[in-house]
Amino acid sequence: MAAPTIQPGQIKTGPGRILYTPLGTAIPTFTAAASKITGTWTSWLEVGATEEGLTYTESTDTSDITVAESLYPVRTVTTGKSSRIAFTMSHVSDINWKLAMNGGTITTSGTGATKLNTYVPPLVGQEIRVMLGFLSLDEDEVLIWPQVFNVGSVETGRGAFDAKHGLPVEFAAELPDPAVMTTPYKRWTSGSLAQGV
C-alpha cells in the first residue's frame, strides 16, 4: 500500500489571536496575499494570552429510525446541533472579566495611578451576546462566530504563589441576525489550507 502524500502546511500547530466585539460590528473584509489572510479588525479587542489556546467543538445529535424488519437503521436523522468555543483567559483584566460574565458595566474614576474601575455584573435577562473571532498563528485561517454567549461556569482561583489565575469561558455559538450572517460561523483559509474548488 502506498504512503499518503504529506502536506506539511496542512498540519497545524500553535495558538492564534482570539478577538471579540459587540454584536453588529462589521466583519472584516478578508483578502489573501502571499498565502496570508489580511483584513482590518476595526473595533475588535484581543483577549490576550490564554492557558492552552482555543478549542472549538461542533457536535451533531442524531436519532436512528428503525423498523422491526431490519437490524440496521433505515435512516439517521439530525435532532440537534451545537457549537462550543472554549478557552481560559490568562489576562484577568476588567474587560475580560466583563466578557466572561456576558456583560455588565464598568465605571471609572480617577486617571493614571489614581484610576479605579468598578465592575457590576449583569442581572438575569440583561446579559449580552458578542461576536468572536480567531486568527491562526500562521495567518492562514480565520474563524468568525457572529453571535456567542458564555454558557460555561466561570471559576477563577486565588491559590498558591505559583498557581496562575485565569478566566475560563465556554461560548455557545447561536444563529445570528440573518442580516449579519446566515450560519453560526464562517471560516476563511489561504495557502496550504485552501484546498477547496
How many angstroms separate the most distant Cα atoms in the chain? Answer: 77
DSSP characters over 151-194: -S-------STT----EEEEEEE----TTT-SSS-EEEE-GGG-
- Secondary structure (3-state) at 104: coil
More confident residue, 177 or 76: 76
Nearest Cα residue to 196 out of 4, 1, 10: 10
What pLDDT was estimated at residue 154?
A: 86
H or E segment and range at residue 100: helix 94-100
Q: Kindly report, residue by residue over 78-93, the tens digit of the pLDDT.
A: 999 999 999 999 999 9
Block residue for cell numbers 502506498: 2
For the chain, how far is it from start to end, CA to CA, in angstroms?
28
E strands of the chain, at which residues? 16-22, 31-33, 36-38, 45-46, 55-65, 75-89, 105-109, 116-120, 130-136, 141-150, 167-173, 186-189
Task: Kindly state the average pLDDT of the residues 8-15.
Answer: 86
Task: Indicate if the pLDDT at residue 196 is higher than 80.
Answer: no
- Does the pTM surpass 0.85? The reply is yes
Please name the residue that has the C-alpha cell 468555543.
85
Segment 46-71, tens digit of pLDDT: 999 999 999 999 999 999 999 999 99
Mean per-residue pLDDT for 107-130? 95
